Structure 1
Amino acid sequence: MLADILLSLPIPRPPSYLTSWQPGATPLSTLPSVATAIALYLSTIFGLYSYQKDKAPKKLNTLFQIHNVLLSSVSGLLLVLIAEEIIPKMWKHGIFYAFCSPDAWTDRLEFYYLMNYYCKYWELIDTVFLALKKKPLTFLHVFHHAATAALCYTQLDGKTSVQWAVIALNLAVHVLMYYYYYATAGGAKIWWKKYITTMQITQFVIDLVVVYFATYSRIAFMNALPTIGDCAGSLPAALYGCALLTFYLVLFIDFYRRTYNAASAKKAVTNGTTNGAAHKTR
């Protein structure tokens, strides 16, 4: 197993509060620390955006490529490690166990969740690059980056056993998304940008099916309603996840509509005008 190979490497073992979730000891494991980090992120990017207003855009292509290829690679590694941990449990005990059993939360998975959580702060650098390159800072981009860090915090703190499914789908999308940014920064022409957004929308649809099922199972078990069984994790964390992922879906559908449907309509109008002009010259 890949995890066993990594553990066998002759490297110093970090303290336990860096490999497991220990509120108050693990970095960024309290609500005030998360709120402070997000406030620092927002003040930094808007400060940089204002500073760059009268200056030429920074190129930063090499740094941007390094940033993106590393994030793509780390996303792929975490995806493989999570799959390696969860697939045997799903095979042996079934999908409901993998989604909902408290025993499906292992020390290794907790460590992978923690590393994924820290990656969300690393990903905030995406927006720093946008500000320095004088690219538009859209609400979708800024909100999504900040809120996802908060989402990962709530799920770790609430110990929702279903979060691996949401994380794995997100990692799969990020492998391709960050590769796309890496390649296009180097001048590559890639035709499938539109399908990254389609994958993100599909991801949120699947996420919502899974988390709504898990949340219903939790509520139903607590209130003696029909259900397969209980689903591990705090109810506030589950409800926050449902609400935020629903909002993400709305935002990404709106982005798709405004970006790609509008572009298609504009292209159709342009083609119609061109064809009309050609017809008149015959």
Structure 2
Amino acid sequence: MQYAQVTLPNYSYVFNFESEFSHQPTRTWMSENWTLGFYYVGLYMVLIFGGQYLMQNRPRFELRGVLCLWNTALATFSIMGAVRTLPEFITTLTHHGIYNSVCIPSFIEMDKVSGFWTWMFVLSKLPELGDTIFIILRKQPLIFLHWYHHITVLLYSWFSYTEYTASARWFIVMNYCVHSLMYSYYALRAMGYSPPRQIAMVITSLQLLQMVVGCAVNFWARQLLQSNIKCHISERNIKLSLAMYFSYFVLFARFFYKAYLSGDRRKPKSRPANAEYPGIKSKVH
């Protein structure tokens, strides 16, 4: 697809691996292999419930050092992703407006930097399943929100990349930014620090806002398509994305209420010395 007069951000520095990125081979690979995600999800579910079964009569693993490294690595990756995708997002909004930001996938096809980090974002949803390994081995409560979120994000991201869904520009930037805060918070907790509980509430609130924005972007794109205005997103993708974001909103809102607002939460409870820390996935990570 050709775009006329697309304004690209003026990066102060471009890494070799970014400048050498070519989007065509990655799209071809994903188009041929995105359904592998279902096999990974199947294996993931076996590991979840099989792991819980194997661990039920075994002592928990601490894994604080490994958990610290894991969260620090994911925090660093997310921060890099946010820093490298935000310039293109802001440039598109300021120079071309909301329509281009939702309907024109130039962030993949024209911008090598943003294109590379979009590809990294999509691939990262597979190793992020590793979050659950720590929950299983440390015998932490595994709530439905956690594994449902991991599964659906992986499948949706891989499928959307095959279509170069233009609205993904919004979803990717929001996710990178929220994950930058979230995994940094987890890393600090794993290191033994105790950030104020309000930080966890802010992270949860940002995730809820992410779901609201995601639904709004999809509704707007759907209106454009119904008005016969060209927008590079399929009706099927909009339906899948709306279902996903709305279900996330309901689940995260329920979690927010139970974690921070319900009377039961405010009652003092005895917690084990190494109980998992609070936050958006407080009982998750």
Same-fold call, TM cutoff 0.5: yes
Look up the equivalent residue of 1:30 and give its one-letter code. W
1:87 Cα shift?
2.6
Q: Assess, with a 3 A threshold, how the Cα gap between structure 1 residues 125 and 83 changes in structure 2: closer, same or farther.
A: same
Are 1:203 and 2:210 an aligned pair? yes
Are 1:174 and 2:193 an aligned pair? no
1:233-252 correspondence runs (5 A) = 233-252=233-252
Look up the equivalent residue of 2:83 and give its one-letter code. V
1:52 Cα shift?
1.0
Q: What's the RMSD between the two structures over aligned residues?
A: 2.5
Look up the equivalent residue of 1:213 and give its one-letter code. W
Partner Cα separation in structure 2 for residue 35 and residue 267 of structure 1: 41
- 1:5 paired residue number: 14
1:175 Cα shift?
0.5
- 1:40 paired residue number: 43
Partner Cα separation in structure 1 for residue 128 and residue 263 of structure 2: 28
1:117-196 correspondence runs (5 A) = 117-191=122-196, 192-196=199-203
Indicate conservation of the 8 Å contact 1:159/1:234, yes or no: no
Are 1:20 and 2:29 an aligned pair? no
Q: Deviations over 1:182-229 (max 9, x none)?
A: 1111111111212211111111111211121112212331xxxxxxx3
Partner Cα separation in structure 2 for residue 56 and residue 236 of structure 1: 46
Partner Cα separation in structure 1 for residue 207 and residue 260 of structure 2: 14
Larger radius of gyration: 1
Give unpaired runs (5+ residues) of structure 2. 1-9, 269-285
Indicate conservation of the 8 Å contact 1:160/1:232, yes or no: yes
1:56 Cα shift?
0.9
1:267 Cα shift?
3.7
Partner Cα separation in structure 1 for residue 26 and residue 70 of structure 2: 26
1:265 Cα shift?
6.5
Of all paired residues, the percent bearing the same amino acid is 25
Look up the equivalent residue of 2:48 and give its one-letter code. I
Matched residue count: 255
Question: SS where residue 194 of structure 2 aligns?
Answer: coil
Are 1:30 and 2:30 an aligned pair? no
Give every structure 1 segment of 4 or more consecutive aligned residues whose post-TM-superposition deviation is greater than 6 Å. none
Look up the equivalent residue of 1:193 and give its one-letter code. A
Q: Assess, with a 3 A threshold, how the Cα gap between structure 1 residues 112 and 218 changes in structure 2: closer, same or farther.
A: farther
The one of the two structures with greater contact order (alpha-carbon pairs below 8 A, sep at least 6) is 2
Q: Assess, with a 3 A threshold, how the Cα gap between structure 1 residues 8 and 240 changes in structure 2: closer, same or farther.
A: closer
Indicate conservation of the 8 Å contact 1:101/1:232, yes or no: yes
- 1:73 paired residue number: 76
**What is the TM-score of this pair, normalised by structure 1?**
0.82
1:232 Cα shift?
0.8
1:153 Cα shift?
1.4
Look up the equivalent residue of 1:194 and give its one-letter code. M
1:4 Cα shift?
4.8
**What is the TM-score of this pair, normalised by structure 2?**
0.81
- 1:83 paired residue number: 86
